[in-house]
Amino acid sequence: MAFYENEEDAFLPLRDVVFKQLREEILYGKLKPGERLMEVALSERLGVSRTPIREGIRLLEKEGLVVMLPRRGAHVASITAKQLADVLEARRTLETFTMNACCARITRTRYEELKKANERFAEAIDGGNLRDMADTDTEFHNIIIDTAGNEKVKEMLVNLKEQIFRYKYEFMKEMSDPTRLVREHDQIIKAIGESRSDRAVELIKLHIDSQAIAIYRNIK
C-alpha cells in the first residue's frame, strides 16, 4: 500500500485508510469542490479494490465532505454560502465561549505555548507552505480551545473541524497578506496576557468575521 502515511495506518481497515487519504486530499485542495470521485480511477490510483473505495466515500459523505448526486455519483462537496454561514456562526459562538474561558484559566505554561504556536505560524508563512500555514493556525486555536477546559464545547468544535479547516484553507490560499493573521494572533495573545477577556473576545470575533467577509467575496 503506497499511501500508508505511518505504521499505524498499516493496521487500519482499508476503508479507513482510504477515508483518511481522500479526506486529506479534500481538505488540502488536491480534490476540488464539485470534483467527481470515480471509483475505478481511485481504485487504480490507490492500489486497492473498489469495495474500500466505496466504503471510504460513504464515510466521507457522513462527514459532509462528499455528496451523492442522483445518477451522477459521488462528488466532493462544494462550499456554499449557506453552509459557510452555518459553520461560521457555530464557530464564532463556540470560540467566543472558549476564549472567555481560556482567559479565566490560562496558565503561564499555556500562555508560552500560545506564543510559540504563533511563532510557528509566522515561520510557516515565511516558508510559503500553505499546508503548514493552515496546520499551525489550527494549532494556535486548539491551544485556546484546550485551555478553556470544556470537553462538550471541544467535542462540538471537533465535529466541525473538517468544515472549519476547508474554508480556512481556501481563505489562506487567496490571502495577499497572510502576516495579518499573525498580527491578529499577537493582539489576542496580548489581551489574554493582560487578563482583558472582553478585549480578547472582541478580537476573536473580529478575527473570524474578517475571514468570513473574504470567503463570501470569493464564493460570490
137-157 pLDDT tens trace: 999 999 999 999 999 999 999
Give the torsion through C-alpha atoms of 68, 157, 86, 90, to 10 deg.
170
pTM of the predicted model as reported, rounded to 2 decimal places: 0.83
Number of domains in the chain: 2
Residues 66 and 111 in one domain: no
Residue 118: CATH number of its domain: 1.20.120.530
Answer yes or no: is 181 within a domain: yes
Answer left, alpha or beta for residue 128, where phi above 0 means left and psi between -120 and 50 means alpha: left
> Is 169 found in the same domain as 115?
yes
Instruction: Give the closest residue to 169 by CA, choosing from 45, 33, 58, 57.
Output: 33
Give the SS3 label for residue 74. Answer: strand
Grid coordinates representing 174?
A: 487567496
Residue partners of 90: CB distance under 8 A and separation at least 6: 156, 160
Q: What does the pLDDT read at residue 170?
A: 79
Check: CB of residue 96 under 8 Å from CB of residue 205.
yes
Full residue range of the structural domain in which residue 29 is found:
7-76
Which whole number is the average pLDDT over 45-67?
94
Question: For 47-56, what is the mean pLDDT?
Answer: 96
Q: Identify whether the C-beta of residue 65 lies closer than 8 Å to the C-beta of residue 76.
A: yes
Residue-wise pLDDT for 167-183, tens only, equals 888 788 888 889 999 99
Residue 34 lies in a domain: yes
One domain for residues 54 and 130: no
Whether residues 195 and 88 fall in one domain = yes
Q: Does position 1 have pLDDT exceeding 80, yes or no?
A: no
Which three cell numbers mark 198? 472582553
Asked whether residue 7 carries a pLDDT value surpassing 70, the answer given is no
Q: Which of 76, 92, 116 is the last residue of a domain?
A: 76
**CB under 8 Å to 54, separation ≥6 — which residues?**
39
What does the pLDDT read at residue 202?
A: 98
- Measured in residues, the chain has a length of 220
50: pLDDT strictly greater than 80: yes
- Of 103-107, 116-120, 164-168, the one with minimum mean pLDDT is 164-168
* Mean pLDDT taken over the chain: 91
Regarding whether 88 and 70 lie in a shared domain, the answer is: no
- Is there a domain that residue 1 lies in? no
